[in-house]
Every structure is written in C-alpha cells, then in structure tokens.
Structure 1
Amino acid sequence: MSDFPYAERFPVQRTLPEQGRPRSELLAELTAMAQEEDAVWESGKISGTMYCGDHEHYAFLSEAFAKFAHVNALQRDMCPSQTKFEGEIIAMVLDLMHADAVTDTTPAGLVTSGGTFSILHAILAYREHASATRGISTAAGRLPNLVKPETAHPAFDKACHLFGIENRTVPVDPATTLVDPSAMGARIDDNTIAIVGSAGNYPYGTIDPISELGRLALDRGVGLHVDGCLGGFILPFGEELGYGIPPFDFRVPGVTSISADTHKYGYAFKGSSVVVFRDKAIRNSQYFHQLAWLGGKYMSPGMDGSRSGGLLAATWASMTHLGREGYRRYAGEIFETAARLMDVVRSHPPLRIMGDPTFCFSFTSEDFDIYHVADFMKPRGWRFNGQQYPNAIHLAVTRPQTKPGVVEAFSSDLADAATYAQEQAAAGRMSQSGAIYGGVVGGLTSEVETVMTTIMDGMLDTQQSLPPEVR
C-alpha cells in the first residue's frame, strides 16, 4: 500500500486551504475512493471487516445517521431522541442476553464506541466496585488483578495497562483452544476483581466453558465478564436455529457482565458497542463525577464526552429494522456458509481446523507453514487474518461470504494453495506473510516491537509529512 494514497490522482492538502474547494468536486473524489475501496470487500474474499456488506442497508443507516449526525448526545434536554435511542438499544441487548433471568439485582447497560471500549468500561467498573466493596486498591496496598485466557482479546491487556491492574493470563488447551476452569481457579486470589471468558474468542471462534467459569466466579466471589463482542449478535440466533450453542449470557449464574458489538453482527455502523451488567451497582461504580469544577457540576457515565447522535440513531435503526427475524435469517446463512467453508478446509488432510468453532474459524497445518497458503491466495483477492502460536489463518464469516460463488471460489483457490504450500515446504522456502491483528502482512522476524512501532508510525504520521512536491 502506498504511503501517500491517492496522491497521484487527487490534490494533496499541504495546508488548510485559504479558499475552500467546491462541494461537488470533493464529493466526486470521495465517491471515487469509496467505490474503489468497496470493490475490495464486495468479492466476499475478505475476513470480517464488513459484517453486513449490504449497500441498501448502509444507505438506510446513512439516512438515519444524517438526521442526527450534528447532534451531541450529551445534550439530552435539547435532544430527547438520544435518551430514547440509547435506552432502547440497551433494553434490546439486555433482552437478547436474557436479563429476564436475573431476579435478585437490577440489570443495566452502557452504549460505547466499540468493543475495546466496552471491555475497558467493564474492567474499570470491576476495579472501582472491588475498591468500594472489598477494599482492593493500590491505595489500600492491594494490587487488583484480572484472570483471563490467552485467547481473550488484547483489549483486556490494554485495560490492565491503563488502569493499574495485574494481568494474569492462563494458557488454553492447544487441542480444544478452550481455557481450563481449574487453571483459571489456580490464578484467582483475594485481590482478583474478575475473570474472563469469550463467546466466542477472536483467534479461533470457539466458546469458553462459560457455565463452569460462572460456577468458579460464584465460588470465589469474583466477577465474570463474557466477551461477546464478536458473537453477541449472532450466537443467540444460532441457538434459536438449533445450533449447539452453549449458554453464555445471564442465564448462566455467575456471569456479571457481557460485551456485544452492535457494529459487527449487529450490522450497525462502526463505532458502536454495548456492555451490559447483571447488577446496576457494578456499572454505576465507573461513573465519573467532578462536582467542584468552575464550569458546573460535571458528570459522565463513561469515558467518552461528546458523542454524535448519529451513531445512536443508526444503531437503533439497524436493530429495530432487522428485528429477531432479520438477525435469525442472516445468522442462518452465515452458519451454513461457515460449515461449508470448514468442510472445504477439512477436505485437505494437511490442513486442520482448530478446536470446534461456529461462525468463524482458524486452520493450520503440521505439514507446512500455513502462511504459504495466505501468500498464494492473496493475489487472488483473499484477505485473511494471520494468527500465531501456532501460525494459523483466520476467517470470520460475514454476509459477503454468503453470496453465490464465494464458497466455490474458496474451494478452487484453496486446493491450488495447498499444492503450492507443499511445494514451497519441499523446497525449503520461507513464507512472506506474518500475523498482525486485522490482516496477514509481511513476515516479522526480529525486533518485533520496533517493527510494530514503525508500522503504526507509518499509519499515523507518514501522511502528515506529505509526498514530495512535483516540480
């Protein structure tokens, strides 16, 4: 990818222009870029990323967003619509997560700007609640800790880093890819604020033994957060369709919070997620108040301040338009497609599906470096996500993969790729790909942190330096 995308075709803004450019000219540029970038995922060969892939749905959401894009969701006195949208989004997610099974506390929720923020808010809430109710805080000489499987999303590591929490990571079974509750229990102590399970985890799409983790959490008196950011809006409908989805929500005693991304299989715009709590008191623990500020009493339910009301409107519109029937229909198509794709993988003996996944899966090989497969299929338009320890290829099945011909193309290309990989292994050649969350990129062999920092700098800073002027 170019360090200066589109620089050869469109004007480069080196400074804030003295005179603005015509709207029609700018919209023409935006249209060209959007059409070209849409063409990349419309083939159905991209893992995850575009979970809906339906331009009519996007147009509908865009119309809903546009009506409230300029609205600040903080100003509820001026914009009561935001109270309606946010309240009903939370209510619908609580219903989906079977909050009706909770009888001894008052369930509640929070709309956030993404899965990472849902996880951050949950862990912050556990830290604050444990400090207030159990005296676990660094000020009291007790360092709080979190116990999680190694498959749990890095957002939990980020939460520990940001909030001064000890991160205790437990290995998973290499065959099942699931965490052993007894291994989790061995890491819990008096300073543990919560434990974590995934439904499903990102690396393999497998579902941790949530019922057993729930019993463990109850027995040890700690919270249990279920990360349903990936599966929260598809697994419930898979269960309704008769797939063997184990309970992972508030029906499971001991589950105290759940994150679910509306911007994934909820088919809302990016920047939308929900975290729900069994007990309102835990959620309220992370509220922020500053009562002595000269600008007035400041209160915030979450880490965000101003938010665009457009995202709340579009998320509400997506959920209420699709309803259970719509989500169930799309889930059926995705589960069926995922099963067909996994059957294609299993038809090649050198390839192995990892664990027992559902709608997204990873596969590896003991016979050759699986990244040879990614190398071969990339020029044919396939964009997988790379895994590591062991090296594997990850495919989150979304609606674009359910289009006619995609499974057949995968079958044909994978057959050629498997042959290529065996040839490369026999010749002793190294693959060119590597594992970075969100894609398979050039291999990383040494000084990994330095290379990763350079990559991030490139994404954030290179464009600011601007391409050299042509004279």
Structure 2
Amino acid sequence: MRTAEELLAEIAAMKQHDLPVRGGQVTAYVYDTGRPEVHEAAALAYFEMLEVNTLDPTAFPSVVEMEKQVVGEVAAVLGGGYGIFTSGGTESIMLAVKAARDKAGRARPNMVVPVTAHPAFHKAAHYLGLEVRAVPVDLETFKVAAADVRERIDGETVLVVASAPSYPQGVVDPVAEVAAVAAAAGVPCHVDACVGGWLLPWLREAGAEVPPFDLSVPGVTSISCDLHKFGYAPKGASVVLFADPAMRRKAYFAAAAWPGYTVINATVQSSKSAGPLGGAWATLRMLGHEGYRELGRDTLEAARRLREGLAAIPGLRVLGDPAGSLIAFTSTEIDVFVLADEARARGWFIQPQLSYAGIPANLHITVTGATLKGVDAMLQVIAESAEAARERGPAQVPDGLVEMVAELDLEALGDREFGDLAAAVGVDLGGGGQPGMAAVNTILDALPAAKREEILVRFLAVIYT
C-alpha cells in the first residue's frame, strides 16, 4: 500500500506544469481573495462534508440546513426567490432552461439569447432540445438591445436571456428593458449573473454605477449566481434562484416508475459530494458582507487602474465599458495571440478570445480580490509582451493550412493523423508544460464556428487518450 506522503509527492509531480491558482498571475479560471485563511477554512469544511451524499436529504439533514443557509444568503442579496445549490453556472443555467421549457410545454421551444451570452445556454439547448435564437449586440457597447430581442420572440419562445455581466467584454445588458420585453410577451427572463451576482452588489456599495439586474427587476423570473467565482468558494458552487416557487419545482426531476429507492433530484446530478456545499458555506461565513465589500472595493480599484494602464500602452484598446471585474482589450497593430504567448512565457496567463459576430479577437482579464497588489506588475508584463509581439509580428501559419483545415473531413481523420496536424503548427498534444498557442488561435480565428467546434472536440479526445 502506498503512503499518503508518496501519493502527495506524485500529485505534486503531475502538477508541476499547472498554472498557479494563487497570486493573481492567472487571469481566468481561478478566483483568489489574497487571504489564505479563507481558502484554508473552506478546504477544511469541504473535507468535513466530502463523504456526505446529497442524493437523499432525509438521510443527511445537514445538507438541507446548510443549503437553506447558503441559498437564503444569496436570495437576500439578489432580490429574494427560491433557490437550488448547484455544481456551477452551467448546471444552474441548465436548470433554468429546463424549468422554462417544462413550464411552457411548447412543441418546438426556442430561447432568445445575445451572442455574448455564455455557451452554457447553447449546451442546455443541445441537451434539452431547444432552438437558440441569437441576437447581435452593439459593436461599441457590446450590449444587446431590447428591441432586437423583441423581434426574435414568437409563440414558441420559452425563455429570454440577459447577462450581468456578459463574460467576453464584462458589460451588463439592459436587464430592465429586456425583462420588460419578455414580460410583455408572457415569456420568462433569466439573468445570467454567474460572474456578477456575488460581485455587482458589493461594487455598488463601493460606489460603482450598477444598474438593477436581479429578481427585484420586474419581469426577471430567474437568476444564476456562481459562488465559486466572486464568492471565492471552492469549485463547484453556484445558486439558481426562481421568483416563483412553482418554477423552481419545474427544475426538479422525480422518478417513481421503477422498483428501487425513491428518486427526487433538485439538480442534474444525483449522487454528489456535499463538499462544495460545505466549502461555500464556510467561505460565506468567513468573509461575511464586510469581507465581500472590502474585496469589492479592491476589485473596483484594480479594474480602474488596469483600464487606465491598458489605455496608456501603445496599440491597445479596451473593449466597451466594463462593469468592473472583467476587462477585454484588443489591438489593430499587434497580434493579440502573440501577446498572450509572450505574457505566458513571462509567467502570466491572459486568456485569448476568438473573434465572433463582428467582435474582434481580444484578450480577457478577470480581476479578483488579489489583483490589486499585482496590478502594476501585470501592466508591466503586458507592456513588455505587447512590445515583443510588435517586434515578432503576426503568428506564422504555413501557407494554405487554414484553407486545408477548413475543407478537412475530421471524421475521416484518425487520432494519430490529427496529432500530426497539430504538430505541424507547433502543438505537441502529448507533451507537458505550457504551450505557445498563437498559431493555433490564429487558425481557429480564421475558421467558422462549426469548424472550430469540430477541431476542439478532436483536440479534447486526443489529449485524454
């Protein structure tokens, strides 16, 4: 039998090329308070609830009490409602879509979403059999217009979506106007506040102008809020709130047509650990409203300095007017994908975003509570990386490769051949470390969305084989 120390050493070896989860040098995927004692308390509570199964709340009443407290705290901040604790934003969104679909009972249901809405809505539509009607956004503000939403609603529409904020450019859609249009058509309106739900209220208290976006807005019928983002809880922790308890019941699933144990699920998953619930509960208790207010003030100040600093770097331009925590910037003079590689080589991960629907390729930064201490260092790295990218020029892609990939029948291509194709643009799918991705992103950026998706599916299949 192996010892715990041996296993931990083996894990450490596997993690040697991982991006760091603390310190603020990774500007996506992780959320850091900069307060180690908070994360340690959450880890202890997570471990305490690790083996508790949320499948049967009558067997483990601690789950019911803990979830009621967590959901109640979120509801108290976001306009009331009736909630469910979920594993993340995608599951929260999935349940909101299911509830809207089941309530409407349409034969050919559709939902109306801005092009900037999270792909979780497309995933929910794919799983649940809905049509997605995408609405373009203004290419200066990156917000959806209520009038454009109205045009796409018909008798089969079961849900309208707005974001607070949308992830790509960090702007808040005009929630009140969109919700009013939905209400006038008799259609539920979901606000995706997975990113902003547990941040915008604290930014408002810190003096930021934050428009109404939660369940207090007339016409908003559900809202999703991730606690593992700006709630700083361990993954995965999210809450979906419904204004109407009858709508929450539509999110549930029950099965009695079998001879086994009673099945009633509030979430997509059945058996699951209560660890994330314990971690979220502890994080909320550790920080309290005052802790979140302080983190909100730090986030707001870091975002302000970051926007101003980016604007001062030659060739860079911030997109839109971010609400505070999410900032995207682009350039017509510098290849942003090369800039991202240069920053990665300097120890900083800045998230590339491909062009879509008239929005240019850009780089995305998520500002967290830990960003303020390192904002000057981040700006220095971005400035150095921008200059290096300017000197390098655009990513080099072999002539004709984009056209060849566009015409390629990927289903006829074996995994080995796909790996060879990736190697031709400098990506070793079997290697470790942090790869340069500029050439790959350049190729993906030149392809239509459907072909991008095909390639991404093959990429995932190969790296896990």
- Bin of the TM-score, shorter chain as denominator length: 0.7 to 0.9
- Kindly indicate whether residue 385 of structure 2 is the aligned counterpart of residue 417 of structure 1: yes
1:317 aligned residue: 282
1:367 to 309, 329, 333: 333
Cα 1:187–1:308, aligned 2, differ >3 Å: closer, same or farther?
same
Alignment match, 1:173: 138
Shift of 1:76: 2.6
Is 1:441 aligned to 2:437, yes or no? Answer: yes
Verify: 1:129 aligned to 2:103, yes or no.
yes
Partner of 2:30: 50
Q: 2:126 aligns with which of 137, 144, 161?
A: 161
Q: Deviations over 1:14-37 (max 9, x none)?
A: xxxxxx322332133335656x56
Residues 429 and 228 (structure 1 numbering): CA distance in 2 closer, same or farther, change over 3 Å?
Answer: closer
Percent identity reads 38
- What are the within-5 Å matches in structure 2 for residues 282-321 of structure 1? 282-321=247-286
Q: TM-score, normalised by structure 2?
A: 0.85
Cα shift at 1:58: 2.1
Question: Does the 8 Å contact 2:39/2:283 carry over to 1?
Answer: no
The residue that corresponds to 1:63 in the other structure is 44
| 5+ residue gaps, structure 2 | 398-424, 428-434
Residue of structure 2 equivalent to 1:466: none
Amino acid at match of 1:65: Y
Partner SS for 2:267: coil
Superposed, 1:150-229 pairs within 5 Å as 150-229=115-194
Partner letter of residue 316 of structure 1? W
Structure 1 residues 387-422: Cα deviation after superposition (integer angstroms, max 9, x where no partner): 12211000001233222xx22222222222332333
Alpha-carbon distance between aligned partners in 2 of 1:43 and 1:67, rounded to the nearest angstrom: 26
Letter in 1 for 2:28: G
Aligned-pair CA distance for 1:195? 0.6
2:251 match: secondary structure: coil
Q: RMSD of the TM alignment (CA)?
A: 2.2
User: The residue matched to 2:363 in structure 1 has which SS?
Assistant: strand
Task: Report how many residues are paired.
Answer: 417
Distance 1:32 1:330, change over 3 A: farther
Verify the 8 A CA contact 2:196 2:225 in the aligned structure 1.
yes
Match of 1:452 in 2: 456
Give how far 1:429 is off: 5.5
Contact map agreement 2:340 2:351 (CA 8 A) in 1: no
Per-residue CA deviation, residues 114-149 of structure 1 (Å, 9 max, x unaligned), is: 110000010011000111xxxx12xxxxx1100000
CA distance in 2, matches of 1:224, 1:351: 36
The amino acid that maps onto 1:458 is V
Contact 1:386 1:440 in 2 (8 A): no
Q: Report the counterpart of residue 93 of structure 2 in structure 1.
A: 119
Aligned to 2:370, what secondary structure does the other structure show? helix
Task: Please report how far the alpha carbon of residue 333 of structure 1 lies from its aligned counterpart in structure 2 after TM superposition.
Answer: 0.6
Q: How far apart, CA to CA, are the structure 2 residues paired with 1:185 and 1:337?
A: 37
Contact 2:338 2:395 in 1 (8 A): no
SS at match of 1:399: coil
Alignment of 1:335-346 (within 5 A): 335-346=300-311
Gap regions ≥5 residues in structure 1: 1-19, 100-106, 138-142, 462-471
- The one-letter code matched in structure 1 to 2:344 is K
Q: Deviations over 1:252-307 (max 9, x none)?
A: 10111000001111111101110001111111113222223101442222221112
CA deviations over 1:148-173 (Å, ceiling 9, x no partner):
00000000001111111011001111
Choose which of 349, 353, 358 in structure 2 pairs with 1:383: 349
